[in-house]
Amino acid sequence: MSTGLDALTKKNISAWLSGNYDSETKATIQKLVDDNKEIELTDSFYKDLEFGTGGMRGEMGVGSNRMNKYTVGAATQGFANYMNNVLEGEIKVAIAYDSRNNSPYFAQIAADVFSANGIKVFLFSALRPTPELSFTIRHLGCQGGLVVTASHNPREYNGYKAYWNDGSQVVAPHDKNIVAEVTKIQSVDEINFTGNPALITKIGEKVDREYLKTIRHNSINPAVIGRQQNLKIVYSSIHGTGITLVPKALQMLGFENVNVVQEQAEPNGDFPTVVYPNPEEAEAMSLAMNLAKQIDADLVIATDPDADRVGAAVKNPQGEWQLLNGNQMASLIVYYLLGAWKKAGKLTGKEFVAKTIVTTEIIDKMCSLQGVKCYNTLTGFKYIAAVIRELEGKEQFIGGGEESYGYLIGDAVRDKDAVASCAMIAELTAFAKDNGKTLFDFLTEMYMENGFYYEGLISLTKKGKAGAEEIQQMMANLRGNVPATVAGSEPITVLDYKNLTSKNLQTGEITAIPEGLGMESSNVIQLVLADGTKVSARPSGTEPKIKFYVSVNAPLEKPEDFLSTLDALKVKVSKIQEDLGLK
């Protein structure tokens, strides 16, 4: 074996070559060794694929740091061990999967391992959106669940999201306790792959109908939809699971002019028409935008492979189609919901909205103006779900979201829900049109009332072991070297969520960031500048990336100033990114 490999990598390779793994796996590893593929061997074996506090995600292939039968089996065995240790009586789990390559295979392995450990499994008979899995857990009285997906990652990835009994991704103490049980699995021989078919029940359309009822319940203005039933909607599932339910949901509500992008309608794990199956990417939305231009549509929406994120586009006053970012759409949804709830006399002082700490602060401002609480959580919908769970029966959740294109309306689902969001985005577009406005006009109106907030994001990908070390160093540098000025403005506060402290840079005073209600220690740093700008740095918990968020704002006096104000804010964001060495 190559001398260029470190000791742990060599140990893991030897364990897989000598252990109880199938012959095809061993042959693939041996060829990598014989061909001296040091980089590939290191990245595949330098560690175990981390089962983090929400699950795991990684490239598919052989090795301890890859998604394959054995890493999925070990994760599920640890999950099953934990459930059997802490729960009594009949234990039930629900399992869903997306359109990615190997997703049905990994889902069946998980079902087999759970059932082999005496746990009853409800397994979807075909691909389904992640939010439906969240709904199903509570609907069928399950104690847990999982969905096989890598969300919007490139085609070579797959993953595994773990859920608890309230339909949210696992949170403390279960998250760390499950991780501990997974870590205990030291040998493939500890994994029981021999399933019990008697404990596996296939589910599908019956659950679909119940889930769709919750989306109908979310609708606020059905009369508006009736008047705007011919609203021209373009929808793309980007080869993912959204095709199973999004068109049905829109038609159920009364939208009769839904135009599906046929080139992307077929589920396909190779995602042949896009580079990345991510509605945050303009390239992934291009076919939908082209169709919108052809038919002069009112709205473009597209969902990612597991249909928990949605991207949207709208025509601006110049007649050009433009994408709305996640902050803009989250804001529009909340703006519409707050206005509708107020008009209906439903705001009693016990309602709330929830969002993440890196999501636009215009939502905080809008909530404050309406006397509605806005809870800020760590990044990840499991933290928003934790707030909903903690306040259930005390306060009522209206809606919320995060900047990365994930939104939630109502509390029937406890994860971001692109199916329900597509329905709500279509409804608010119909509402705007019913009032003689476009969705762009609606956005402009929101900014004129609350200020024009603009957010810039730079996401740096750092793959492999060297990349992980580089990300760690970048965060250490930020903690140890706060710049004196950024784009001419002085930093006045540093929020360090790793040790849950807020430091006033002018007085030196350090105060605690309260733990609880969606807040715990996390490797995130935020700089608040004297002019109201906020800069956040956060390593991704699911991808080899570090993300830098910049939020700026300015007044918008009249609609004609939209583009000039936007350009000025973009210049400011660019200058901030340059000063921080990100460009």
Catalytic annotation, residues: 151
Q: Say how far apart CA 290 and CA 224 lie, in whole Å.
A: 27
Cβ atoms within 10 A of the Cβ of 511, count?
A: 11
Distance CA 243, CA 530 (A): 46
Radius of gyration of the chain (CA): 24
**What gap in Å lies between CA 19 and CA 13, rounded to an integer?**
10
Task: Give the 3-state DSSP-derived string for 396-447, with helices as H, strands as E and coil as C.
Answer: EEEEEEECCCEEEECCCCCCCCHHHHHHHHHHHHHHHHHCCCCHHHHHHHHH
Residue in the structure block whose two tokens are 């596996």: 200
Q: Are the beta carbons of 120 and 199 closer than 8 angstroms?
A: yes
- The residue written with tokens 């997306």 in the block is 98
Neighbouring residues of 492: CB distance < 8 A, sequence distance ≥ 6: 504, 505, 506, 528, 529, 530
Amino acid at 70: Y
φ and ψ at residue 207, rounded to 5 degrees:
-70, -35
> Half-sphere exposure (CA, 13 Å, Cβ side) for 94?
30
Largest CA distance in the chain: 72
Please give the Cα distance from 163 to 130 (Å, whole number).
11
Alpha-carbon gap, residue 350 to 72, rounded angstroms: 42
> Which residue type, as a one-letter code, is found at position 520?
E
Sequence-separated (6 or more) residues with CB below 8 Å from residue 112:
193, 194, 195, 200
End-to-end CA gap in the chain: 41
Q: How far apart are CA 52 and CA 37, in angstroms?
A: 28
- Residue count of the chain, please give it: 583
Residue 203 three-state SS: strand
